[in-house]
Amino acid sequence: MRIEPATLEDLPQLVDLVMALFEIEEDFQPDRDVQEKGLRLILEQPSRGRIFVVRTDYQIVGMVNLLFTISTAMGGFVLLMEDVIIHPDHRGQGFGTQLLEYVIEFARKKDFKRITLLTDEISAESQRFFQKLGFRHSHMIPMRLTF
């Protein structure tokens, strides 16, 4: 198992993972073409973000999407972390923890000031996972305007 940046060649497997994630999300409707377009935009514009994958010799078993932005509150660059998923057949083996520890170390080395993520309100298991790694609830709540 290794963690590394995703490439355009990984796109079909990344789309499969995101589709699986969105099938269990209440806020999103899976759409293969839309998800592929979004992933491709990140992969083709590394100045805007990164996708890291957990890779075995045969397949990608997990991924995380990091988007770069600037926070005036923090006075520097911050990460928006999305699409954290480990394939169901590979959960409970420590891959998710290793992936998030990799992301945290990446953020520290690159001097990002904060990592923000959205997780399912109804998924206590997901919230416990992120809390175990040091993430805490914010007093801010997400709001959305979709076009």
Q: Where are the domains of the chain?
A: 2-132
Share of the chain above pLDDT 90, in %: 76
- pLDDT tens-digit map of 91-142: 999 999 999 999 999 999 999 999 999 877 667 888 899 999 999 999 988 8
The domain defined by 2-132 carries CATH number 3.40.630.30:
yes
User: Given this model, what pLDDT does residue 146 score?
Assistant: 83
User: Given this model, what pLDDT does residue 144 score?
Assistant: 83
Strand ranges inside 10-132, DSSP E: 49-55, 60-71, 76-86, 115-117
- CA torsion angle 41 46 50 54 (round to 10): 90
